[in-house]
Amino acid sequence: MNKRRFLNLMTGALASPLIAPLTTFAEGQPLKNWSGNLTYSTRQVDDASTVDQVRSIVRAQEKLKVLGTRHCFNAIADSSHHLLSLKPMHAIVALDAAARTVTVEPSVTYGQLGPYLDAKGFALHNLASLPHISVAGSITTATHGSGERNRNLSSSVSGLEIVTASGDLVTLSRKTDGETFRGAVVGLGALGVITRVTLDIEPTYKVRQYVYLDLPLEQVKEHFDQIQASGYSVSLFTDWQNRLISELWLKVRDDSPFAGPPEFLGAKLATRDLHPIENLSAENCTAQRGVPGPWYDRLPHFRMGFTPSAGAELQSEYLLPRRNAVDAILAVERLRDQITPHLLISEIRTIAADDLWMSTCYKQDSVAIHFTWKPDWPAVKRVLPVIERQLSTFQTRPHWGKLFTMNPRELRTRYEKLDDFVHLAAKYDPKGKFRNQFLDSTVFAT
């Protein structure tokens, strides 16, 4: 099916709110991830609503994995033994205005947290493209937004409470636990069950969002740094054809002098709100055209209560050193005729370096090249190794929650703290209670 026909079929279905392809936890129903591409390998799911319940479930099970909001595309959250849902644990526990922190239960989503913080005069430094995801699931996989000075969402974590394999409760903080803390934040679900997270907050702010159409790739080549510096959060969307960035999304904070000129490096300011995927309804997207709004309703591309992205899709994303951004973008562009037939849209973002061991941005200012694919895994599985080979000289790190085919030996070379992480995981989980096939075949592969 060609891209236009696929999108036309999808458009009617996806314009309406709240039709995410979520399966329920109902008895007898197969339990799937958000996009429906993964059926979890067990139907044994426990719910926990208190830390004590978590502790007794952890003690009782030989092996288990925790579910967040199930937005990962790969099997990182899967278990063939037992799943634990912390859905009821979504309270905002405490806001400490003096320390500028907020402490939350693990399943609170950014969509729930944002308006709460804003009402109290506070904000987070950044958000991902969607607010629907849980804080614990996001921080443990190094989920990121965009902005050359913005680190990923995990970097906001200043404290963690974890139930370890023995059922003990461990608290870790940035202030007191140094390297152990830096190893634990992007924990990939391998250290235990996160039951509380403390996040840094800052005074609230407003954001204006502008979308530009048809930015020539030549301008990206010549002015990459200028483009990135133009917004607080910048996204370039392309299907890699015609040497064009089809949509450039610039999000600026209220104190920015950027006022949305009608033309930007040859691209034209959009005069209506748009979806990053051509032909899909902008109703699902946050307001554009420079209308100021609260940070939580502008930094994500997609609105809470509406289907983010396309819904029926797969995703992959590769992070690599920002200094190689232009070369890497041009290298992917050369693969356009292999990529585009299977693609809904690509997005290019930058993220600042951090010091979290398993972060995709560990010690590296990064560019992220993302692919939203049509839901055709056999085709995507064929094209991913081609992209990975093409980008291999740039030492890419695949997103922990998305699809990749890179072999574990290569993956291990991308994380200098990987052995330390394996030791840290063994300290909290000596028998591999929280390990699953995904972790065994990547991080823990020998």
| CA 272/CA 274 separation, integer angstroms | 6
- Please, what is the minimum distance in Å from the beta carbon of residue 399 to ligand FAD? 6
Dihedral sign, Cα of residue 309, residue 354, residue 432, residue 61: negative
User: Contacts with ligand FAD in 25-64 (CB under 6 A)?
Assistant: 34-35
Pattern of binders to ligand FAD over 72-111, x per CB under 6 A? x---xx--------x-------------------x-----
Tokens 């936890």 locate to 25
Give the one residue of 144, 253, 303, 322 binding ligand FAD; rule: CB under 6 A: 144
Only segment of 116-124, 138-146, 215-223, 379-387 that touches ligand FAD (CB under 6 A) = 138-146
Task: Rule CB under 6 A: say whether 193 interacts with ligand FAD.
Answer: yes
Candidate residues 37, 112, 141, 238; the one interacting with ligand FAD per rule CB under 6 A:
141
Q: Tell me the C-alpha distance between 17 and 348, whole Å.
A: 26
Contact residue for ligand FAD among 7, 14, 102, 136 (CB under 6 A): 136
Question: For residue 331, how many other CB atoms are within 10 A of its CB?
Answer: 17
Q: Are 245 and 346 in contact, with CB atoms under 8 Å apart?
A: no
Q: Which of 111, 147, 183, 189 binds ligand FAD (CB under 6 A)?
A: 189
* Tokens standing for residue 203: 């005074």
Q: Does 137 bind ligand FAD (CB under 6 A)?
A: yes
By CB under 6 A, the residues from 285 to 344 that bind ligand FAD are 308-309
Contact status, residue 143 vs residue 154, Cβ threshold 8 Å: yes
Residue 357 sits in the site that holds ligand FAD (CB under 6 A): no
Report the distance separating Cα 289 and Cα 304, nearest Å. Answer: 19
Instruction: Please report whether residue 252 would count as binding ligand FAD according to CB under 6 A.
Output: no
Does 217 sit near ligand FAD (CB under 6 A)? no
Residue 188: CB minimum distance to ligand FAD, A: 6
Considering only residues 370 through 429, tell me which ones interact with ligand FAD, judged by CB under 6 A: 399, 401
Residue 213 has φ and ψ, to the nearest 5°, of: -105, 140
Query: CA separation (Å) from 351 to 27, 39, 321, 354, 365?
Result: 41, 31, 10, 9, 6
Is the CB of 208 or the CB of 397 nearer to ligand FAD?
397
Long-range Cβ contact pairs of 22-26 (< 8 A, separation 24 or more): 22/70, 25/85
Question: Rule CB under 6 A: is residue 67 a binding residue for ligand FAD?
Answer: yes
Q: Measured at the alpha carbon of residue 153, what is the angle toward residues 91 and 435, in degrees to the nearest 5?
A: 80
Quote the tokens at residue 210. Answer: 């502008």
168, 102 in Cβ contact below 8 A?
Answer: no
Shortest distance, CB of residue 162 to ligand FAD, whole angstroms? 7
Shortest approach of ligand FAD to residue 337 CB, angstroms?
Answer: 26
Which residues of this chain interact with ligand FAD, rule CB under 6 A?
34-35, 65-72, 76-77, 86, 106, 128-130, 133-134, 136-138, 140-141, 143-144, 188-189, 193-194, 308-309, 399, 401
